[in-house]
């Protein structure tokens, strides 16, 4: 009777213990599986350091413990995240050198490159698809633009008559900074929503067909529209002591050859954050990259 009871107890113990033994036997394999998965999921950052912004970005990633290399360094095998300079356009030759399955952060790529990326399972992420980053970058652009205005004019920002052409993100930011420093700002835009906002936050708003009438009064003209608008006879109306600052991407909004002929002071300023505040710009880029990668590639 007692032996039967013992056998019953032993059976119950066996029922409970055997699954645990099997789990313990499997643990090394589970550990190896997770270890391999971690290795495969780990991303290696390859940073374009051709400008100051990229050099600070490389430092930022390393400081936070991520594995990161400059593009001219040799990195170990693994899934790569290529971070290109924002002003740089990736051409087909560069794209052909990128390993299949990699991730690319850039702003500009040629049309042929898009097809190649698709064929090689390369994930392309445009910096400007992150609206939060775009807004912060626009502020840095405006801040840098302010420094260029101060350096290239001989009067105070306070009460300076300034014409801002375009009222997108950069136009809004530069208008805000100018108004914070008591400049007199007129905004030119044909967009109805932009016009309504500009009429509230600037001293004056006008359409593209109207601005030329008073153009001789401005001491600074800031263009943010990527279309040649300041050209021909309009440039002849601009005061010789007016500073023309073009912030628009190529080809810009000013006929530079004609401006030169008219003896006007002008500057086509591209990639301003990378020149005037590269460290802060690098932090913003790093935050944007990690925000977009973490949901998929990090726990």
pLDDT tens readout for residues 251-281 = 999 999 999 999 999 999 999 999 999 999 9
In contact, 266 and 256? CB cutoff 8 Å: yes
Domain 42-129+279-297 belongs in CATH node 3.40.50: yes
At 10, the pLDDT band (50, 70, 90 cuts) reads low
Task: Give 16-73 pLDDT, tens digit per residue.
Answer: 545 444 544 555 544 443 443 444 348 999 999 999 999 999 999 999 999 999 999 9
The DSSP line for the chain is: -HHHHHHHHHHHHHHHHHHHHHHHHHHHHHHHHHHHHHHHH-EEEEE--SSHHHHHHHHHHHHTT--EEETTS---SSEEEEE--TTPEE-HHHHHTSPTT-EEEESEE-HHHHHHHHHTTPEEEEGGG-HHHHHHHHHHHHHHHHHHHHHH-SS-STT-EEEEE--SHHHHHHHHHHHHTT-EEEEE---HHHHHHHHHHSSEEE-TTTGGGGGGG-SEEEE--SS--B-HHHHHHS-TTPEEEE-SSTT-SB-HHHHHHTT-EEEE--SHHHHHSHHHHHHHHHHHHHHHHHHHH--
The predicted structure's pLDDT at residue 75: 87
Q: What average pLDDT is seen over the chain? A: 89
The predicted structure's pLDDT at residue 108: 80
> Could you tell me whether strands 243-246 and 265-268 are parallel, antiparallel, or unpaired per DSSP bridges?
parallel
Task: Give 163-193 pLDDT, tens digit per residue.
Answer: 999 999 999 999 999 999 999 999 999 999 9
Q: What percent of the chain has pLDDT over 90?
A: 78
Domain 135-268 belongs in CATH node 3.40.50.720: yes
The predicted structure's pLDDT at residue 190: 95
The predicted structure's pLDDT at residue 74: 87
Tell me the C-alpha distance between 166 and 189, whole Å: 5
The predicted structure's pLDDT at residue 115: 92
Instruction: Please give the model's pTM, rounded to 2 decimal places.
Output: 0.82
At 229, the pLDDT band (50, 70, 90 cuts) reads very high
Task: Give 98-121 pLDDT, tens digit per residue.
Answer: 999 999 999 888 888 999 999 999
Cα 165 versus chain centre, distance: 22
């Amino acid at each position: 009777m007692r032996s039967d009871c013992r056998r019953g107890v032993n059976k119950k113990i066996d029922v409970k213990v055997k699954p645990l033994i099997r789990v313990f036997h499997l643990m090394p394999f589970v550990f190896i599986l997770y270890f391999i998965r971690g290795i495969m999921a780990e991303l290696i950052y390859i940073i374009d350091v051709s400008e100051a912004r990229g050099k600070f970005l490389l430092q930022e990633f390393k400081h936070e413990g991520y594995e990161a290399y400059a593009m001219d360094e040799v990195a170990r095998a693994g899934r790569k995240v290529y971070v290109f300079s924002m002003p740089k356009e990736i051409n087909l030759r560069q794209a052909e050198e990128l390993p299949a399955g990699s991730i690319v952060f850039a702003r500009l790529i040629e049309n042929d490159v898009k097809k190649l990326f698709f064929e090689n399972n390369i994930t392309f992420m445009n910096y400007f698809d992150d609206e939060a980053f775009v807004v912060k970058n626009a502020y840095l652009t405006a801040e840098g633009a302010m420094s260029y205005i101060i350096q290239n004019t001989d009067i105070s920002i306070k009460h300076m008559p300034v014409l801002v052409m375009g009222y997108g993100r950069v136009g809004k930011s530069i208008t805000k900074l100018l108004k914070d420093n008591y400049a007199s700002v007129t905004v030119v835009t044909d967009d109805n929503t932009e016009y309504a906002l500009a009429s509230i936050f600037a001293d004056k708003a006008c359409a593209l067909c109207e601005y030329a009438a008073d153009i001789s009064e401005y001491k600074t003209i800031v263009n943010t529209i990527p279309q040649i608008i300041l050209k021909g006879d309009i440039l002849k109306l601009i005061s010789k002591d007016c500073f023309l600052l073009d912030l628009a991407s190529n080809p810009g909004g000013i006929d530079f050859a004609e401006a030169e002929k008219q003896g006007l002071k002008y500057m086509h300023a591209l990639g301003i954050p990378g020149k005037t505040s590269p460290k802060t710009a690098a932090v913003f880029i790093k935050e944007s990259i990690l925000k977009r990668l973490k949901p998929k590639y990090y726990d």
